Amino acid sequence: MMKFEHRAVIKFLSKEGNTPTQIRERMLKVFGDSSPSEFVIKFWSKQFKHGRESLEDDPRSGRPISAVTADNVEKVKNLILADRRIKQWEIARDVGISKERVHEIIHEHLGMSKITYQPPLVPIID
């Protein structure tokens, strides 16, 4: 069961006048291990008792969920094309995203891979 559905059950039982403990007991009987924690039930029960109607999460400020955007992919591509020897940490610093996301962009979105040059073998003559 999804958290959205859990919240709907908590909202219904809270509006019915059940305490968070009663709600927890009922949800454990029905959903078993997949029921939300006591803390979650108390939190949402309190929210609904204070007039909240929405089951959705509130929007949060801060860093976006994903750093892989079309703009960042383009920035990484331009940095690589400008300097083939640029390091991933340098790209991460310049673009303002993690090295892991840079790696993902390079390999999964740009389809690039590291190719090393190996000069041809030259026989040694004594």
| Confidence at residue 66, expressed as pLDDT on a 0 to 100 scale | 74
Average pLDDT along the chain = 87
d(CA 45, CA 32) in angstroms, rounded, equals: 19
- Look up the pTM and report it: 0.50
- DSSP 3-state of 13: helix
Whether the Cβ atoms of residue 24 and residue 37 lie closer than 8 Å to each other? no
Q: How many CA within 13 A on the CB side of residue 87?
A: 3
On the question of pLDDT at 108 being above 60, the answer is yes
d(CA 96, CA 68) in angstroms, rounded, equals: 11
Q: Give the containing element (helix H, strand E) for 5.
A: helix 3-15
Label residue 9 by pLDDT band (50, 70, 90): very high
| Confidence at residue 64, expressed as pLDDT on a 0 to 100 scale | 60
Comparison of pLDDT for 74 and 62, the residue scoring more: 74
| Confidence at residue 81, expressed as pLDDT on a 0 to 100 scale | 92
Which two structure tokens, joined as six digits, stand for 47? 């929210």
| Confidence at residue 121, expressed as pLDDT on a 0 to 100 scale | 76
Does the domain formed by 3-49 have CATH 1.10.10?
A: yes
| Confidence at residue 68, expressed as pLDDT on a 0 to 100 scale | 86
